[in-house]
Structure 1
Amino acid sequence: MNKTFKKNIGLLHLWLGLASGLIVFIVALTGSILVFEEELDEFFNPEFYTVATVKNEKLPVDVILAKIEKEYKITEIERIHTFHDPERTLIVTGTDSNKKDLIFAIDPYTGKVQTSIPEKGRFFSVVLDLHRHLILGEFGKAVTGISCLIFVFMLLSGMVLWWPKKLKNLKQRLTVKWSASFKRVNWDFHSTFGFYTFLVLLIISLTGLTWSYKWFESGIYLLADGTAKKPSAKVENPTKIDPKNDKAFFYQKIFSKTDSIYKFTGDTQIRIPSDTINSLMVIKLNTEKSIPNISSMVYFDKYTGEFLKTKPYESFSNGDKIRRLIYPIHTGSIYGYPTKILAFLVCLFAATLPITGLLIWTGRKKKKAQK
Structure 2
Amino acid sequence: MNKTLKKNIGFLHLWLGLISGLIVFIVALTGSILVFEDELDQFFNPEFYKVAAVGKEKLPVDVIIADIEKQYHITEIDRIHTFYDPERSLIVTGPDDNKKDQIFSVDPYTGKVLASIPQKGRFFSVVLDLHRHLILGKFGKAVTGISCLIFVFMLLSGIVLWWPKKMKNLKQRLTVKWDASFKRVNWDFHSTFGFYTFLVLLVISLTGLTWSYKWFESGIYLLADGTAKKPSAKVENPTKTDPKGDKTFFYQKIFSKTDSIYKFKGDTQIRMPSDTINSVMVIKLNIEKSIPNISSMAYFDKYTGEIVKTKPYESFSNGDKIRRLIYPIHTGSIYGYPTKILAFLVCLFAVTLPVTGLIIWLGRKKTKKK
Give the TM-score of the pair, scaled to structure 2: 1.00
2:350 is the counterpart of 1:350 = yes
Residue 361 of structure 2 corresponds to 361
Aligned pairs for 1:101-140 within 5 A: 101-140=101-140
Q: Please give the residue correspondences for 1:232-251 in structure 2 after superposition, counting only pairs within 5 Å.
A: 232-251=232-251
Verify: 1:81 aligned to 2:115, yes or no: no
Determine the structure 2 residue equivalent to 1:202. 202
In the alignment, structure 2 segments of 5+ residues that lack a partner are: none
Pair 1:166-2:166 in alignment: yes
SS of equivalent residue, structure 2 residue 85: coil
Name structure 1 gaps, 5 residues minimum. none
Runs of 4+ residues over 2 Å off in structure 1 = none
Task: Give the deviation of 1:240 after TM superposition.
Answer: 2.1
SS of the residue 2:76 aligns to: strand
1:265 corresponds to which letter in structure 2?
Answer: K
Structure 1 residue 244: deviation in Å? 3.7
Aligned to 2:227: 227
Aligned AA for 1:214? K
1:7 matched to which residue of 2? Answer: 7
User: 1:243 Cα shift?
Assistant: 1.8
Distance 2:34 2:240 in 1: 40
CA distance in 2, matches of 1:202, 1:104: 37
For residues 284 and 65 of structure 1, what CA distance do their matches in structure 2 show? 20
Q: Secondary structure at the match of 1:269?
A: strand
C-alpha displacement of 1:134: 0.1
Residue 250 of structure 1, CA deviation: 0.7
- Render the CA deviation track for 1:77-119: whole Å, top value 9, x for unaligned: 0000000000000000011122111000000000000000001
Identity %: 88
Secondary structure, in 3 states, of the residue corresponding to 2:75? strand
Instruction: Provide, for residues 228-256 of structure 1, a one-character-per-residue CA deviation record: whole Å limited to 9, x for no partner.
Output: 11111110011222224211111101100
Matched, 1:58 2:52: no
What amino acid sits opposite 2:30 in the alignment? T
What pairs with 1:8-87 in structure 2 (closer than 5 Å)? 8-87=8-87
Q: Which amino acid aligns with 2:335?
A: Y
Distance 1:269 1:164 in 2: 53
SS state at 2:77 partner: strand
What aligned pairs does 1:93-104 form with structure 2 within 5 A after superposition? Answer: 93-104=93-104
Measured in 2, the distance between the counterparts of 1:349 and 1:95 equals 40
Q: Measure the CA separation in 1 of the matches of 2:271 and 2:245.
A: 21
Letter in 2 for 1:342: L
CA RMSD of aligned residues (A): 0.5
Partner of residue 337, structure 1: 337
What is the alpha-carbon distance in structure 1 between the residues aligned to residue 274 and residue 188 of structure 2? 55
Counterpart of 2:3, as a letter, is: K
CA distance in 1, matches of 2:243, 2:308: 17
Give a deviation string over 1:336-364, Cα, whole Å, max 9, x none.
00000000000000010000000000000
